[in-house]
């Protein structure tokens, strides 16, 4: 039996994962460049701290978004209809 909520979540998560991976690879490249070839300046330090902060926020948002969607899908299945069915 198909779930009550018929949204195609696999397609949206595929796009989200590509964006997340691209962002993480960019941050990793920036940090690697600054570590091995960057001069020891305040600007480079600020860029590295910003890259680490971006990595942390992207990972946190990814985990939070996945958990939020799982909870939403469980609730919609528990009520026997999707959220979009009320419109």
- What is the chain's pLDDT, residue by residue, as a tens digit (87 residues)? 445 455 566 678 888 899 999 999 999 999 999 999 999 999 999 999 999 999 999 999 999 988 888 888 888 877 766 555 555
- pTM for the full predicted model: 0.71
Query: Number of folded domains in the chain?
Result: 1
Does the residue 87 lie in any domain?
no
Q: Within a domain: residue 50?
A: yes
Q: Length of the chain, please?
A: 87
**60 lies in some domain:** yes
Which pLDDT score, from 0 to 100, does residue 9 have? 61
- Contact of 4 with 77, CB cutoff 8 Å: yes
Quote the distance between the C-alpha of residue 16 and its chain's center.
6
Q: Which domain holds residue 76?
A: 16-80
Q: Is residue 27 situated within a structural domain?
A: yes
Q: What is the chain's alpha carbon radius of gyration, rounded to the nearest angstrom? A: 19
Does residue 86 belong to any structural domain of this protein?
no
Q: Provide the 3-class DSSP secondary structure of residue 25.
A: helix
With respect to residue 4, please indicate whether it lies within any of the assigned structural domains.
no
Dist CA 71 CA 20 (whole Å): 21
């Amino acid at each position: 039996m198909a779930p009550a909520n018929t949204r195609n979540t696999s397609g949206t998560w595929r796009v989200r994962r590509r964006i997340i991976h691209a962002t993480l690879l960019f941050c990793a490249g920036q940090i690697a460049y600054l570590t091995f070839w960057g001069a020891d300046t305040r600007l480079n330090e600020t860029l590295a701290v910003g890259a680490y902060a971006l990595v942390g926020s992207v990972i946190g948002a990814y985990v939070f978004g996945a958990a939020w969607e799982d909870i939403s899908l469980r609730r919609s299945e528990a009520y026997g209809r999707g959220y979009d069915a009320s419109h």
